[in-house]
Structure 1
Amino acid sequence: MTDAVILYNETTANTTYDYSDYYGSDDYPPSPCSNFELKEFGSVFLPTLYSLVFIVGFLGNGLVVCVVVKHRNSTTLTDICLFNLALSDLVFLLTLPFYAHYSRVSHWPFGDFICRFISTCHHAGYFSSVFFMVAMTLDRYVVIMHSHRVAVYRTLRAGVVLSTSIWLLSLCVSLPAFIFTKVTGDDNLSNCTNNMENNAWEVYNIFATNILGLVIPLLVMVVCYSRIIPTLVKMKSARRHRAVKLIISLVAVFFFLWVPFNICHFLYFLQSKEILPNGCNFRNNLKLSIVVTETLAYTHCCLNPIIYAFVGQKFMNRALQLLGKWVPGIRSPSSRDFSDSTFRKSSVMSRSS
């Protein structure tokens, strides 16, 4: 995952990519096939972007967690999914300060266990985030398309079982990150890298990143929303167009942020197997593309709270009420905005839209 600095420890959201060859050693004066300029660029670009993503994502997802916990007595299945989605993003985001430091100094000073642990958290946070998005997509599909038949099954107990299953699945998928990630080098210049010991594990990383982390989730979103949108369009709701635009944006954001990185990662794998040309320019441009597209993909953690939570009026009111107590100058909605009758009306509007 982020071996751009273990970049996509497959977390990314995903697998660990070993870019230590251009993070871990200085090459000056530059050789004919030098990574010196790329290393200098990465040492500035990655810490800056990682820091911004961490701050914005931590604030947004932290607010989601606080709101759901504060109103846990009225928690629904959707709230449980939102809570776990935000928690997944937080687990992923908490690894970024370590990788920001690593990319800046080209040295891993935190030891072998922290290297393995952070790599595993990076993978688990990414996969659980993707899996919870898939779960929310399927939940929306069955609620809109088969509401009468599934209403009795959408209980808090079902939400707890679903969440536990997704976290266990994410940990199982991320287990190779803990097994194969290790610290190499000496105390003065060490690298935290994913050292695959055979081709089978390399193929697994590619499979997990591209199939489990992108193709299957994207396929589920496209299939479900392609059936949901025509149903919403037929409904006589004044807010139907907003709902349709929101659904399209969900798929578009996920697609455009993750596909470029996965393509670059796949090309990097092909080049490592000498299937693609191994020229200096092509290799350096590919590494640069991985660094840029990876960081952009990580911004999805910042957008999740906006896409999945803040678009709901009830959740927005609760968030403003909480912020009104913490931040001076923010107007807190009146108590009547949170009355049971208001929530019932909001619930009716949500189902119709």
Structure 2
Amino acid sequence: MDNSSSEYDYIYDVFIEEDFKEDEMENCYKYDGQVLATQFMPRLYLLVFVLGLVGNTLILVILIKYKRLKLMVHLCLLNLAISNLLFLLTLAFGALTSGHGWAFSDAMCQLISGFYSLGLFSQSFFIVFLMIQKYLWVVRRLTFHSKAKAGHCGIITSALIWGLATLAALPDFLLRQSPLKGESDTCRFSKPHYALSDEKPWIHFLTLRMSILALLFPLLVAIFCSVGIIKVLRRQRIKKKVTLTLTLVIVFFLFWTPYNLVLFFSTFSKYFSLSDCESSYRLDRAIQVTNFIADTHCCINPVICVLLQETFRKSLCRLFIRNNSTPCHPVEGPEQTFSPPREQLEHSSAC
């Protein structure tokens, strides 16, 4: 009799514990980002879109019209601007559909989501290429100022990088899915939906893809190249020759690292003991905020180029002010008479 009663008490305790967990999960309030998405996101994304469109378009015009893509670094900056413009296209759709639900088809969601990932991964890969190019020039003394090298090698390398970025973004082109009908949601980029019966393994895989290709791999390459460049900087006074490159790389990681870390912890929350209500709420809120911060990065690169490089400011002045009596005119002569030593000097100061 005592054994049966003790066994019954054990089973009763288990039932009570399970019921308590179920009640706790039912009372767990999920983060609702609709207020932020409806009231603030459309205006902010529209502002980012306008600023990014104007800035990156001006960079394209300056690189093509005045730089004429003679240097490998110019071609790299051109591809970065194209990546930013591609990324900005997706933000325009995000601004139009924030808070109103996704009004387009699944195919359109896949296309826009694929462009989002393609823009991100191409930015990441071209940042890596820009860093490697600067490392080879500063540390290994391998210059890329020859027109032939900037043409053939640059086109081949750019095509290869775009191919790798497309391959990395392929799951989003094929598997991304818009929300179910009745959900007040959009074709989200921060916590996406996938047209699979078993979503979790794919979400784990795609989060690892994001963490490795958009953060870990570029970060390791940037650290390795930066260490070698800094060693040379201590012996020689060439700080101005690497300022732009290092700034572009640092700003990229400052904007994208928080979102990658939060997304990683959210996806693998159970392995970090973050599955409780409060942690889930904070992670969902952090994902929305850090994702917006990361998205604004696409309009920052043109500002960095203009602020840090005199050649970009002079070209911008020539683009808008054509009067010969303006202060821009004296600079126009030396830039048009382009000799090999001057070209090499421009390469040393362009990035």
- Decide whether aligned partners of structure 1 residues 119 and 32 sit closer, same or farther in structure 2, where only a CA change above 3 A counts: same
1:225 and 1:274 map into 2 onto residues whose CA distance is: 33
Post-superposition Cα deviations, 1:293-324, rounded to whole Å, max 9, x if no partner, equal: 11111222122223356533323322221133
1:163 and 1:288 map into 2 onto residues whose CA distance is: 37
1:218 paired residue number: 219
Deviation at 1:242, TM superposition (A): 4.5
1:306 paired residue number: 303
How does 1:150-189 map onto structure 2 within 5 Å?
A: 154-186=149-181
Q: How many residues of Structure 1 are paired with residues of Structure 2 in the alignment?
A: 315
Q: Unaligned stretches of 5+ in structure 2?
A: 1-25
2:227 and 2:271 map into 1 onto residues whose CA distance is: 39
- Decide whether aligned partners of structure 1 residues 280 and 149 sit closer, same or farther in structure 2, where only a CA change above 3 A counts: closer
Report the 3-state secondary structure (helix = DSSP H, G, I; strand = E; otherwise coil) of the residue aligned with 2:178.
strand
Contact 1:314 1:343 (C-alpha < 8 Å) held by counterparts: no
1:68 and 1:267 map into 2 onto residues whose CA distance is: 40
Find the partner of 1:82 among 77, 86, 102: 77
- Decide whether aligned partners of structure 1 residues 202 and 339 sit closer, same or farther in structure 2, where only a CA change above 3 A counts: same
Q: Unaligned stretches of 5+ in structure 1?
A: 1-30
Deviation at 1:138, TM superposition (A): 0.5
Contact 1:233 1:244 (C-alpha < 8 Å) held by counterparts: no
Find the partner of 1:143 among 137, 148, 162: 137
2:316 paired residue number: 319
Q: Percent identity?
A: 29
Counterpart AA for 1:146:
R
1:185 and 1:148 map into 2 onto residues whose CA distance is: 54
1:53 paired residue number: 48
Find the partner of 1:112 among 100, 106, 117: 106
1:150 and 1:332 map into 2 onto residues whose CA distance is: 28
Residue 98 of structure 2 is aligned to residue 100 of structure 1: no
Counterpart AA for 1:89:
N
Report the 3-state secondary structure (helix = DSSP H, G, I; strand = E; otherwise coil) of the residue aligned with 1:154.
helix
2:160 and 2:279 map into 1 onto residues whose CA distance is: 42
2:193 paired residue number: 194
- Decide whether aligned partners of structure 1 residues 242 and 37 sit closer, same or farther in structure 2, where only a CA change above 3 A counts: same
Report the 3-state secondary structure (helix = DSSP H, G, I; strand = E; otherwise coil) of the residue aligned with 1:94.
helix
Deviation at 1:71, TM superposition (A): 3.6
Contact 1:109 1:190 (C-alpha < 8 Å) held by counterparts: no
Report the 3-state secondary structure (helix = DSSP H, G, I; strand = E; otherwise coil) of the residue aligned with 2:321.
helix
Post-superposition Cα deviations, 1:213-272, rounded to whole Å, max 9, x if no partner, equal: 00110111111011112212322x4xx44556655544432332222111110111023x
Counterpart AA for 1:111:
S
Mean Cα displacement is larger for which, 277-286 or 34-43? 34-43
1:253 paired residue number: 251
2:340 and 2:313 map into 1 onto residues whose CA distance is: 12
- Decide whether aligned partners of structure 1 residues 253 and 311 sit closer, same or farther in structure 2, where only a CA change above 3 A counts: same
Post-superposition Cα deviations, 1:137-188, rounded to whole Å, max 9, x if no partner, equal: 1111111122257767833110000111111111111010011112343389
Contact 1:196 1:202 (C-alpha < 8 Å) held by counterparts: no
- Bigger radius of gyration: 2
Contact 2:99 2:184 (C-alpha < 8 Å) held by counterparts: no
1:325 and 1:111 map into 2 onto residues whose CA distance is: 48
Find the partner of 1:41 among 36, 44, 49: 36
Counterpart AA for 2:51:
V
- Decide whether aligned partners of structure 1 residues 318 and 149 sit closer, same or farther in structure 2, where only a CA change above 3 A counts: closer
1:124 paired residue number: 118
Report the 3-state secondary structure (helix = DSSP H, G, I; strand = E; otherwise coil) of the residue aligned with 2:56.
helix
Aligned Cα RMSD in Å? 3.1
Report the 3-state secondary structure (helix = DSSP H, G, I; strand = E; otherwise coil) of the residue aligned with 1:185.
coil
With the length of structure 2 as denominator, give the TM-score of the two structures. 0.79
Contact 1:116 1:182 (C-alpha < 8 Å) held by counterparts: yes
Residue 60 of structure 2 is aligned to residue 65 of structure 1: yes
How does 1:231-242 map onto structure 2 within 5 Å?
A: 231-235=232-236, 237=237, 240-242=238-240
